[in-house]
Amino acid sequence: MLRVMKFGGTSVGSVDAVRQVTQILADAYRQGDRVAAVVSAMSGVTNQLLEAAAQAAAGNDQAHTQLRQALIERHRDTATALLTDSQRQHETIAHITALADRCSRLVESVHVLGHLSRRAEDWIASFGERMAAVLVAAALNQAGIPAEPVESDQIIVTDDQFGNASPLLDVTRERAHSILVPLLERGMLPVVTGYFGATLNGAVTTLGRGGSDYSAAILGYALDADEVWIWTDVDGVMTADPRLVPEARTLPAISYAEAAELAYFGAKVIHPRTMQPAASRGIPIWIKNTFNPDHPGTRIGPETVPNGSVVKAITAIPGISVITVEGSSFLSVADVTARVFEAVAKTGANVYMIFQASSQHSLGFAVRQHEAAMVHAALTREFELDLHKGLIARISEDSQLAIVAVVGAGMKGTPGVAGRVFNTLGQAGINIVAIAQGSSELNISFVIAEHEVARAVPAIHAAFGLASVPDSTHGTGITEPVTRSAVAPGN
């Protein structure tokens, strides 16, 4: 059995957390399984790195020295508390300091240039994971497990879409086989950095924020792993974000498609692209709580597991803007639509929802608020002449909105779900800005004011009785696929 186990920022964010991670990895290793670990940066470190890089570009000549000090202090203090052997402690701190020095020099060069390129930003952002891997490997060695930190720019090969790179899976597979497999065969436990890879030319690229989950699935694919385990700070994928809905329940099993839909529409617990490589090889993904390892967590796999509820979960994405293009009857709807989305695609902005009724000459779509000005400017350029001639009436932006999505494969062909959602919102007096339902019928999503999310999500959660859905698959007739282990994690 080969398992890839990924630990998120909170799971490696403190001395106690790293001790817990060491225990989990050591237990799995001692059971005789081959284990590859993937680690995120300590919580808050990636934000700190990006902030320092931005400050340096904006002219702050102290940003790199302040960053260096903060990085060294946080990781050194953790190493000192964690490691008892003075030689090991000394070597680990020297390694961390060398990484902080390299990172600080990069931030300094951003200041000298007065410019932060996407490429430099990704390189700088990768240092949190590099330092965390050194710490976790040292803690494992202390526990008697032969472990080694491995930097993922040696293994995960990607395209050059800095900030949101995609893996080149075949080359990555070759690298994993030449670097990680020999380590695993020697009985080592590789501790691989999450979040980043590199282009074929060696330029560091990141897989998007929260991308360490994706790294784990890419490595699971590349190593033909039996399972990928994502260890985080909640008991699994839940019926809603427990920070918004305290009575949210853990979903024992969901499909890859449902998980991707939930993640895409805001469930931060898993990166939306994680499911792609796992699904292509049918590798199950378990979501588990580092701080409550006895809880069975959530299994994400090929099959949809009915739990007696048509709706599985409610998610939300705050910080959304809706852009509306209002045309006139002189332009064809198809022509305007094609030009709008070609112009938007060139900006690289992600479009979350599209709303249009072809009888109306208006087209709306939702983007992240921080990308809205860029999108608006691109459309104004594209339609400059049409605006001037009055063929396009206006291009407008509404901000401080949120998308809420109601997700579940059981909605397919079940009438009345939309009615119940909108009735609930109506009773709560929440205005709906726009509505969309994908033809896959996996979700119904709609746009509301951002400040209404805290009322809307709990109200819909209650309307579908999600606080009382069974948290076990017993009696559903669903059994584990025969080709995979039927042993629940934690046993």
Binding site for ligand ADP (CB under 6 A): 8-11, 40, 210, 232-234, 237-238, 240-243, 267-269, 313
Closest CB to ligand ADP among residues 3, 173: 3
Q: Which stretch binds Mg ion (CB under 5 A): 5-13, 58-66, 99-107, 133-141?
A: 5-13
To ligand ASP, the closest distance from the beta carbon of 195 in angstroms equals: 4
Q: Residue 51 or residue 335: which is nearer to ligand ADP going by CB?
A: 51
Q: Using the minimum distance from each CB to ligand ADP, give the nearer residue, 56 or 269.
A: 269
Q: How far is the CB of 210 from Mg ion (least distance, A)?
A: 4
Question: Do the beta carbons of residue 277 and residue 224 sit within 8 Å?
Answer: no
Verify binding: residue 210, Mg ion, rule CB under 5 A.
yes
Nearer to ligand ADP, 13 or 284 (CB): 13
Decide which of ligand ADP, ligand ASP, Mg ion, none touches 11; Cβ closer than 5 to 8 Å per partner kind: ligand ADP
DSSP for 305-356, written as a single string: ---S-S--EEEEEEEEEEEEEEE-TTS-HHHHHHHHHHHHHHHTPPP-EEEE
Closer to ligand ASP at the Cβ: 291 or 422?
291
240 touches, from Mg ion, ligand ASP, ligand ADP, none (C-beta below 5 to 8 Å by class): ligand ADP
Among ligand ASP, ligand ADP, Mg ion, none, the one that 10 touches (CB under a kind-dependent 5 to 8 A) is: ligand ADP
∠ Cα 171 173 174 (to 5°): 65
Q: What is the DSSP string of 425-453?
A: HHHTTPPP-EEEE-TT-SEEEEEEEGGGH
C-beta of 315: minimal distance to ligand ADP in Å? 6
Tokens of 83: 């490691």
Least CB distance to ligand ASP at residue 428 (A): 33
Q: Among candidates 25, 112, 18, which has minimal Cα distance to 74?
A: 18
Residue count (the chain): 491
Nearer to ligand ASP (CB atom), residue 43 or residue 356: 43
Q: Nearer Cβ to ligand ASP, position 290 or 443? A: 290
Q: What is the three-class DSSP state of 482?
A: coil
Positions touching ligand ASP (CB under 6 A) are 8-9, 40-41, 46, 128, 194-195, 209-212
- Of 461, 471, 379, 372, nearest to 420 (Cα)? 461
Q: Would you count residue 13 as binding Mg ion (CB under 5 A)?
A: no
Q: Kindly report the number of other CB atoms within 10 A of residue 100's CB atom.
A: 23
Interatomic CA distance for residues 408 and 416, integer angstroms = 14
Q: Which stretch binds Mg ion (CB under 5 A): 86-94, 186-194, 203-211, 329-337?
A: 203-211
Tell me the CA distances in angstroms from 45 to 18, 41, 106, 130, 473, one per residue in order. 15, 6, 16, 11, 38
Cβ proximity to ligand ADP, 340 vs 403, nearer residue? 403
233 binds, among Mg ion, ligand ADP, ligand ASP, none (CB under 5 to 8 A by kind): ligand ADP
Return d(Cα 387, Cα 294) in angstroms, integer.
Answer: 61
Q: Which two tokens stand for residue 171?
A: 């080359």
For 163, the token pair is 């900030």
* Minimum distance, C-beta of residue 289 to ligand ASP, in the bound complex (Å): 16
**Dihedral sign from CA coordinates of 236, 237, 239, 240:** positive
Q: Indicate the residue whose CB is closest to Mg ion.
A: 210
How far apart are CB 285 and ligand ASP at their closest, in Å? 14
| Shortest Å, Cβ 18 to ligand ASP | 15
Minimum Å distance from CB 193 to ligand ASP? 10
* 114 φψ region: left (φ > 0), alpha (ψ -120 to 50), beta (else): left
According to DSSP, the β-strands at 2-7 and 227-232 are parallel
Residue pair 21/293 in contact (Cβ under 8 Å)? The answer is no
Nearer to ligand ADP, 128 or 327 (CB): 128
CB of 22 to ligand ADP, least distance (A): 16
In this structure, which amino acid lies at residue 146? Answer: P
Strand segments, DSSP code E, in 164-312 are: 189-193, 196-198, 204-206, 227-232, 253-255, 285-289, 298-301
Q: Which does 238 bind (CB under 5 to 8 A by kind): ligand ASP, ligand ADP, Mg ion, none?
A: ligand ADP
Query: Nearer Cβ to ligand ADP, position 243 or 370?
Result: 243
Nearest to 148 by CA among 178, 179, 192, 105: 192
Write down the least CB distance from residue 4 to ligand ADP, Å: 15
Contact residues for Mg ion (CB under 5 A)? 8, 210
